Structure 1
């Protein structure tokens, strides 16, 4: 059966089915049952789906980069570090030097260049919509000294002035939540496919099945509704910048006075 004919029967686009066929995309949860019904396979596709959804992609990070490059909308939450897509080169360099102290300067620079190249998605003709929720800890977790952090925080404020980006701060006052302890990236592709990437300190999990991606989207939306507004977030980031010491020594943040409260 041609993909065109199958697309008509199961009511999925040909392009979507083609990605499933080549293992570039997880099947939507409802698709296996439709395939079993069409081909009379007595639940085989449904059973295979249960196995496939629990398997890790052989190169999940590479796959994540591909999805990031294709996305028309990207939403991120981070609890400790500024997201890679909006890092300055100096912040990235300091971060890599901290994580890989034995790497050569050339290896560090190569890693920095790779990360900066990812940011080309914002320079294309039709850049993705971008939103980020930053835990308050991200603003205080310094890398590279005050001058590096000052430039990085200024970069975040600049993003709030663009037509395609929204950055919000989730204050400590919000308390605990389901995403604490890791980071989350949500990608919406041009055919409205939803994909989630959840990352811990040393590993990441790609979720291309609709059920898990939707669950992460709900968690993200709850945090966004309780975060500070973009205007309030910009003011708060500015207050952290103002509290930075001069010079290039270790960071020593005073405790901000009049800390803003969460909305929920």
Structure 2
């Protein structure tokens, strides 16, 4: 498989700088990704994602790179700074340059509650699962960054938001039962906001083109529609208008297949009751 080198912005992101320095030193040494993977005992695909600033390495890799390239503590120091950034480069562009300016946000979520609608408790649980080697302080930094994103919903003129939630996100436990119940109770309150619409896509709707991932559509002032697709470990900004149009059609079909906002609220209420904490047995 051929990996296409992504353009990096090392002047704006420590993650990009880490990837750019890795790429520069590897190419200067005349090493392919495959050869480097053999030296540092990392997979070629992992190294490709790190070079593209799509993920950070585990803590052991920077030292191995410094030894391999004779760079002292360069990669160790870059790694220490990059770990403090709450979002990798691709996500940061979506959040700071696209989401923050959008007048309309439309999202389909198949695996978990959208970040804009998460309670702090659910965010803590989900980010801990996604970052098993992170320290408590690093997880808390990610949680706070997610909470800060939600400020756009409280602006005097917030974006018009439309969320379609797969039924799975109501049923899959994340943390303790009380965390799920509190989260679903929050959803019912969020759905009552005049600028926000919630729909649930029930299991009975069957298969569809966006199954297994998440899709966001962003309407920005005086700009073409932008789409963003996200998987479990990566995301893609889509700006080619023919590709965006295909995602627009997919989203509109999901909206037609989903329950009405009123019926969706009723399903959320039922699911919330299912997450009522169990009473201890009587003795």
Which position in structure 2 is the counterpart of 1:174?
205
- Give distance in 2, aligned partners of 1:192 and 1:131: 19
Is 1:239–2:270 an aligned residue pair? Answer: yes
Which position in structure 2 is the counterpart of 1:61?
91
State which of 92, 109, 126 in structure 2 corresponds to 1:95.
Answer: 126
- Give distance in 1, aligned partners of 2:156 and 2:272: 32
- Unaligned regions of 5+ residues in structure 1, if any? 1-55, 250-264
Which position in structure 1 is the counterpart of 2:165?
134
Shift of 1:193: 2.1
Which position in structure 2 is the counterpart of 1:164?
195
State which of 153, 160, 169 in structure 2 corresponds to 1:122.
Answer: 153
> Does the residue aligned with 2:229 lie in a helix, a strand or coil?
strand
Which consecutive segments of 4 or more residues in structure 1 shift more than 2 A?
56-60
Given that 2:199 and 2:264 are in contact with CA atoms closer than 8 Å, whether structure 1 keeps it comes out as yes
Which position in structure 2 is the counterpart of 1:220?
251
Shift of 1:98: 1.4
Of structures 1 and 2, the one with the larger relative CO (CA 8 A, separation 6+) is 1
Given that 1:147 and 1:248 are in contact with CA atoms closer than 8 Å, whether structure 2 keeps it comes out as no
State which of 185, 190, 193 in structure 1 corresponds to 2:216.
Answer: 185
Which position in structure 1 is the counterpart of 2:174?
143
Alignment CA distance shift 1:165-1:151 (3 Å)? same
- Give distance in 1, aligned partners of 2:199 and 2:94: 23
- Give distance in 2, aligned partners of 1:192 and 1:170: 29
Shift of 1:83: 0.5
Given that 1:197 and 1:204 are in contact with CA atoms closer than 8 Å, whether structure 2 keeps it comes out as yes
Alignment CA distance shift 1:133-1:185 (3 Å)? same
Given that 2:102 and 2:219 are in contact with CA atoms closer than 8 Å, whether structure 1 keeps it comes out as yes
Which position in structure 2 is the counterpart of 1:40?
none
Which position in structure 2 is the counterpart of 1:252?
none
- Give distance in 1, aligned partners of 2:201 and 2:165: 6
Per-residue CA deviation, residues 73-122 of structure 1 (Å, 9 max, x unaligned), is 00000111000011111000000111222211111110000000111111
- Give distance in 2, aligned partners of 1:57 and 1:106: 22
Residue-pair matches, total: 194
Given that 2:181 and 2:276 are in contact with CA atoms closer than 8 Å, whether structure 1 keeps it comes out as no
Per-residue CA deviation, residues 3-62 of structure 1 (Å, 9 max, x unaligned), is xxxxxxxxxxxxxxxxxxxxxxxxxxxxxxxxxxxxxxxxxxxxxxxxxxxxx9993222
> Does the residue aligned with 2:170 lie in a helix, a strand or coil?
helix
Is 1:198–2:223 an aligned residue pair? Answer: no
- Give distance in 1, aligned partners of 2:279 and 2:254: 34
Q: Output aligned runs, 1:28-67, within 5 Å.
A: 59-65=89-95, 66-67=97-98
Shift of 1:248: 10
- Give distance in 1, aligned partners of 2:101 and 2:234: 22
- Give distance in 2, aligned partners of 1:80 and 1:227: 16
